[in-house]
């Protein structure tokens, strides 16, 4: 179970407050939730993408994390701290590593996920040439590869997500697994360099919906939140500080944010 923060801004912005200094910053979430299995940040500069990832525990290399964060000034930033899932029951040394840390990249897109894909091998078998995107042994990377394929085919994110979920249930049905759902959560924040997307989708199993947010314990663990302003929008796995400005994403909703005429616009649609 990981934590994610995404930012889109009209002008290049520093993200130190959101990732380090805020009461419930991404770093503080990592400490509270023991998200100790790697971290990474993706951002765009002059229409090119940069990614810094580490397989190390973020709070054990705080100096590196601070240095990377403080050097970033960008219109779109996605940051991730990892608490590794392991649906294949592999030895720990196989699921921890730079290639397993997030975010992942494909062409001009960057992607980070929070949750477990319970049938990664069954899904990977149906990916065709997109299986080449999988470099590690992280189930999130299989979800990433499937989304990239569906996005390329559909040319539309909402349609891609609908098709993706159909593919997941089909794969589960063909397997010998008896999970109530092919995933615990498909929560993800991703971007193509022009728009920032956040998808809130999780299983309604009792043990999942009963989980609470790390910092304040007042929201469901898998209920994402966002804070829209005229010049910036922040989306996160949970609110970064207490404020009534934070708005909730409901289960099955897709948030899309973009820059137009010097302002941030966004829409929320049910997938």
- What is the per-residue pLDDT for 1? 74
Domains present along the chain, CATH in parentheses: 3-270 (3.60.20.10)
pLDDT in tens, 59-68: 999 999 999 9
* 271 residues of the chain, pLDDT tens digit each: 799 999 999 999 999 999 999 999 999 999 999 999 999 999 999 878 999 999 999 999 999 999 999 999 999 999 999 999 999 999 999 999 999 999 999 999 999 999 999 999 999 999 999 999 999 999 999 999 999 999 999 999 999 999 999 999 999 999 999 999 999 999 999 999 999 999 999 999 999 999 999 999 999 999 999 999 999 999 999 999 999 999 999 999 999 999 999 999 999 999 9
| Helix 157-174 × helix 139-154 angle, to 10° | 130
- What is the per-residue pLDDT for 92? 94
- What is the per-residue pLDDT for 245? 96
For residue 130, give every residue at least 6 positions away whose Cβ sits within 8 Å of its Cβ, in sequence order, or none. 145, 146, 148, 149
| Both structure tokens of 209 | 């919906």
- What is the per-residue pLDDT for 90? 97
How many other CB atoms are there within 10 angstroms of residue 53's CB atom?
A: 22
pTM for this predicted structure: 0.97
| Both structure tokens of 19 | 């990732």
């Amino acid at each position: 179970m990981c934590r994610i923060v995404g930012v889109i801004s009209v002008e290049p912005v520093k993200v130190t407050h959101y990732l380090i200094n805020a009461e419930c910053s991404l770093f503080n979430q990592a400490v509270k939730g023991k998200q100790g299995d790697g971290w990474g940040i993706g951002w765009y500069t002059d229409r090119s993408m940069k990614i810094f990832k580490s397989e190390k525990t973020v709070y054990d290399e705080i100096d590196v994390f601070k240095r990377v964060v403080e050097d970033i000034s960008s219109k779109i930033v996605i940051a991730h701290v990892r608490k590794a899932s392991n649906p294949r029951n592999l030895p720990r040394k196989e699921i921890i590593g730079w290639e397993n840390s997030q975010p992942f990249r494909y062409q001009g897109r960057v992607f980070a996920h929070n949750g477990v894909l319970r049938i990664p091998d069954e899904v990977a078998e149906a990916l065709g040439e997109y299986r080449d995107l999988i470099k590690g042994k992280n189930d999130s990377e299989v979800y990433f590869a499937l989304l990239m394929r569906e996005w390329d085919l559909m040319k539309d994110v909402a349609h891609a997500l609908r098709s993706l979920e159909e593919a997941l249930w089909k794969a589960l049905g063909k397997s010998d697994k008896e999970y109530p759902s092919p995933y615990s959560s498909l929560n993800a924040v991703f971007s193509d360099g022009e728009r920032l997307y956040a998808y809130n989708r999780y299983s309604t199993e009792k043990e999942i919906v009963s989980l609470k947010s790390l910092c304040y314990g007042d929201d469901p663990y898998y209920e994402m939140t966002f804070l829209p302003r005229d010049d910036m929008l922040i989306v996160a796995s949970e609110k970064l500080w207490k404020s009534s400005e934070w708005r909730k994403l409901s289960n099955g909703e897709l948030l899309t944010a973009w820059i137009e005429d010097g302002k941030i616009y966004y829409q929320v649609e049910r997938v």
